[in-house]
Amino acid sequence: MKLKILPLILILALLVSKPTQAISQSKLPTGLYRLNDNGTYPLTLNGKTYHADATPLALLKDMNNFSVTKERTAKDYYTLNIELDAEAAQGMKSITFDYGQTAYIGLIISGKLVSAPRITGQASTGKVSIGSKSKPELEQISDHLKAEKAKK
């Protein structure tokens, strides 16, 4: 999946100043993580290995209002939209400014990497959009995030 810039919704990132915890790879909490070559936790998606930082950019508690919408500018292209709380939004803005289009963000659910979009612009509104041609896949991710958040 690729991350796509939406009008007024510039996408993902930042290292929110939260304490680093020793977490086993299978126990990474649901959230958004910066992926890079030097990350602590190797995770595989579609045959490609990524490495997640130990410190999440945003945990599930920092994410709200999950929705899937059809992109107006592209045929059969959909986005999963996630709103971040103020602290996580500030972090995303900072990391997208610092790393630009060279960084990937990982959406990890229950210890599993489910999406690894590339940052395509500075996140300045506190909203994250993950794009795909697969509406059912994004709806499944959205439903899983909603259900997990409802449990907490």
Per-residue pLDDT at 124: 74
Q: Are 68 and 139 in contact (CB under 8 A)?
A: yes
Domain presence at residue 31: yes
Per-residue pLDDT at 13: 26
Domain presence at residue 103: yes
Strands 63-70 and 41-45: unpaired
Domain presence at residue 34: yes
Domain presence at residue 13: no
Q: Is residue 36 packed enough to be buried (19+ CB in 10 Å), middle (13-18) or exposed (0-12)?
A: middle
Per-residue pLDDT at 118: 82
CATH of residue 70: 3.30.1360.200
Domain containing 93: what range? Answer: 25-151
Pick from 110, 96, 138: nearest CA to 27? 110
Domain presence at residue 45: yes
Domain presence at residue 16: no
Give, in degrees to the nearest 5, the angle at Cα 60 between 55 and 63: 110
Domain presence at residue 7: no
The answer for residues whose C-beta is within 8 angstroms of residue 111's C-beta and 6 or more apart is 25, 26, 27, 28
Domain presence at residue 135: yes
Per-position pLDDT tens, the chain of length 152: 444 433 323 333 222 223 333 344 457 899 999 888 777 889 999 999 999 988 898 999 999 999 999 887 767 889 999 999 988 888 787 776 666 666 788 999 988 999 998 877 777 788 888 888 789 999 999 999 999 999 87
Token pair belonging to 14:
């930042």
Phi, psi (degrees; rounded to nearest 5) at 65:
50, 70
Say which residue the tokens 């130990």 belong to: 54
Q: What is the pTM of this model?
A: 0.76
Q: Report the domain count for the chain.
A: 1
- How far apart, in whole angstroms, are the C-alpha atoms of residue 49 and residue 40? 12
